[in-house]
Amino acid sequence: MKHRLATVLTALSASMLLAACATPVERANEKNDLLSAAGFRIVPVTTEQQRVQLQTLPPNRVVQKIKDGRVIFVYADPYACGCLYIGDETAWDNYKREQLQQHFIDQERMNAEMNENAAWNWSMWGPGWWAY
């Protein structure tokens, strides 16, 4: 039981380290794919005024805005595309659903990797293998 817990903790630590190593552009690209799939519309920055306003938003985070009495969700991407993603409540719901599904896929992949690692037989490699 302790060995399995150690394996799980090691795998979680490794996945968090790998995620932390991703550049802002890589993280933005992953999120951008989910936003597009969810129905967010990409609006390119074409004017200096748009660029200035884009910089007032928190980068790579979805925020709510009100337009004509309706809730609109906007996502500023200054790293990957220098654009603004705009979606309504349906797009936001789709995005959250896609994000949850992606989390489950990532979890299944991590579980498969841990099971593969647990099946590895270190004893056949003899004493002293850990020194390498």
* Spatial distance between the Cα atoms of 93 and 97, rounded to a whole number of angstroms: 6
Number of domains in the chain: 1
| Single pTM value for the model | 0.61
Residue at 86 is within a domain: yes
Give Cβ neighbours of residue 125 (< 8 Å, ≥ 6 apart): none
Per-residue confidence (pLDDT) for residue 110, from 0 to 100: 86
Residue carrying the six token digits 């992949």? 109
Per-residue confidence (pLDDT) for residue 6, from 0 to 100: 47
Residue at 74 is within a domain: yes
Residue at 71 is within a domain: yes
- Write out pLDDT tens, residues 3-60: 454 454 454 455 554 555 556 555 555 677 889 999 999 999 999 999 999 999 999 9
Residue at 28 is within a domain: yes
Give, as one character, the DSSP assignment of residue 58.
P
C-beta separation of 87 from 93 below 8 A: no
Region 111-121 average pLDDT = 76
- Write out pLDDT tens, residues 46-89: 999 999 999 999 999 999 999 999 999 999 998 888 999 999 99
Per-residue confidence (pLDDT) for residue 102, from 0 to 100: 87
Residue at 11 is within a domain: no
> What residue numbers bound the domain in which 103 lies?
23-115
Residue at 110 is within a domain: yes
Q: CA 130 → CA 51, 111, 121, 122, 123, distances in Å?
A: 54, 24, 13, 10, 11
